[in-house]
């Protein structure tokens, strides 16, 4: 009984080992893993493309609006500062004009 | 004369800057750069008037240094401030245009680097004048003259060295539809420059009058 049991165990073990070996062989023979949804960052080499994908392209409208807005804001800030300084100096001049002569 | 023309300059500048966006909107798109090229209509005039400001500052600084005229010093200070203001506009709008057209915000090429140096020289001129102590007006005038000497190099840099920046031949070769809004914006920026120059000179004159009044009061008090 024990001999038969040992033979059965040996056959089962052999079957498991053979199955595992066949599975590993089939795995190694498979082509490379299919590409993921987002490709990993290129570390081994760079592949040039002529055009950026649409998601990477920068829209021009915010840049144009930003440029014109900056010009307006810069000029208006300068004018406001100039106006304030002119007003302050004029106020001091008026105050000194009204001082009584000593 | 400049002071008397302030109301006219004010009206002209406001009207021109109100009309300019409509002209720029109606101008045709450039074939390769598309919408981003519209920045050109304010960027290039600001740059050209910045050069004008640098020349005004340099010439009046030279007059102040060699003739000692206080009026020339006031013009030099006013135009140095405006050169820095216009330079700031150029330095900010240029990278916004470049990011779309070239794919980078900044490139250390001859035009961009020399224009940055010009801006830094006039900023240095103002800083020297503000924090330099006694005699800083003459030192600032010398810096203003050096700044003016840098202008021709900035202008020709695009033709002499290889740069990403468009060459100076772009302006004469502008087609119909692009030429008119460009020259309109040039006149608008010149008008703005003259207006701000007149106001800034007026401020310097008022400050000089205030200083003279304080001195007069001090003399009276000590007498």
pLDDT digits (tens, 9 = 90+) for A2-54: 666 677 666 666 766 666 665 555 545 555 555 445 566 666 666 666 666 66
Paired tokens of B80: 């140095």
B5: in domain = no
- pLDDT surpasses 80 at B50: yes
- With bands split at pLDDT 50, 70 and 90, how would you rate the model's confidence at A88? very high
Q: What is the pLDDT of residue A81?
A: 94
Mean pLDDT over B46-65 rounds to 96
**For chain B, where are the alpha helices, taking DSSP H only?**
6-26, 40-67, 70-101, 110-131, 136-160, 179-222
pLDDT value for B194: 96
Q: Which of B34, B97, B207 sits opposite A89 (nearest CB)?
A: B207
* Domain contains B170: yes
Q: Is residue B32 part of a domain?
A: no
HSE (side-chain half, CA atoms, 13 Å) at A59: 5
Record the pTM: 0.80
Closest residue in A to B18 (Cα) is A72
Name the range with the highest mean pLDDT among A18-22, A73-77, B169-173: A73-77
**How does DSSP classify residue B173?**
T
* Residue of higher predicted confidence among A84 and A32: A84
Structural domain includes residue B31:
no
Residue located via tokens 């001082």 = A99
- Owning domain of residue B190: 17-26+37-222
Read off the pLDDT of residues B60-102 as tens digits, 9 standing for 90 and up: 999 999 998 999 999 999 999 999 999 999 999 999 999 888 8
State pLDDT tens for residues B6-48. 889 999 999 999 999 999 998 888 888 888 889 999 999 999 9
Contact list in B for residue A85 (CB cut-off 8 A) is: 203
pLDDT score at A55: 59
Instruction: Tell me how crowded residue B192 is: count the other CB atoms within 10 A of its CB.
Output: 25
Instruction: Tell if the CB–CB gap between A102 and B220 is shorter than 8 Å.
Output: yes
The residue-averaged pLDDT of B141-168 equals 92
Facing B210 at nearest CB: one of A64, A74, A92: A92
Nearest-angstrom CA–CA distance, B196 and B3: 11
What confidence tier does A74 reach under pLDDT thresholds 50, 70, 90?
A: very high
pLDDT of residue A2: 61
Query: Residue B102 in 3-state DSSP?
Result: coil
- DSSP classification of residue B103: S
Tokens of B22: 């409509």
**How does the average pLDDT of chain B come out, rounded?**
92
Question: Which positions in chain A touch B43 (Cβ < 8 Å)?
Answer: 67
How many distinct structural domains can be found in chain B? 1
């Amino acid at each position: 009984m024990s001999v038969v049991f040992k033979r059965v165990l040996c056959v089962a073990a052999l079957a498991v080992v053979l199955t595992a070996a066949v599975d590993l062989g089939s795995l190694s023979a498979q082509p490379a893993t299919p590409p993921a949804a987002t490709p990993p960052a290129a570390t081994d080499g760079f592949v040039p493309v002529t055009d950026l994908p649409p998601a990477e392209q920068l829209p021009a409208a915010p840049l144009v609006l930003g440029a014109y807005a900056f010009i307006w804001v810069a000029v208006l800030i300068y004018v406001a500062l100039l106006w304030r300084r002119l007003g302050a100096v004029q106020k001091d001049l008026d105050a000194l004009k009204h001082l009584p002569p000593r | 004369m400049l002071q008397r023309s302030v109301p006219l300059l004010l009206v002209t500048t406001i009207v021109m800057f109100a009309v300019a966006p409509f002209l720029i909107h109606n101008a045709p798109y450039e074939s390769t750069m598309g919408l981003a090229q519209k920045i050109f209509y304010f960027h290039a005039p600001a740059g050209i008037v910045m050069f004008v400001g640098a020349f005004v500052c340099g010439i009046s600084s030279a007059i102040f240094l060699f003739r000692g005229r206080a009026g020339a010093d006031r013009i030099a200070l006013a135009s140095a401030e405006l050169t820095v203001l216009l330079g700031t506009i150029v330095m900010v709008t240029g990278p916004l245009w470049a990011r779309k057209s070239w794919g980078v915000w900044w490139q250390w090429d001859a035009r961009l680097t020399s224009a940055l140096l010009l801006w830094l020289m006039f900023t240095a001129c103002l800083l020297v004048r503000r924090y330099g102590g006694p005699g800083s007006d003459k030192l600032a005038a010398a810096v203003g003259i050096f700044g003016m000497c840098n202008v021709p190099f900035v202008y020709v840099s695009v033709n002499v060295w290889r740069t990403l920046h468009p060459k100076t031949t772009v302006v004469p070769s502008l087609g119909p539809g692009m030429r008119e809004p460009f020259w309109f914006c040039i006149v608008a920026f010149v008008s703005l420059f003259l207006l701000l120059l007149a106001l800034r000179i007026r401020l310097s004159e008022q400050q000089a009058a205030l200083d003279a009044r304080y001195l007069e009061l001090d003399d009276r008090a000590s007498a």
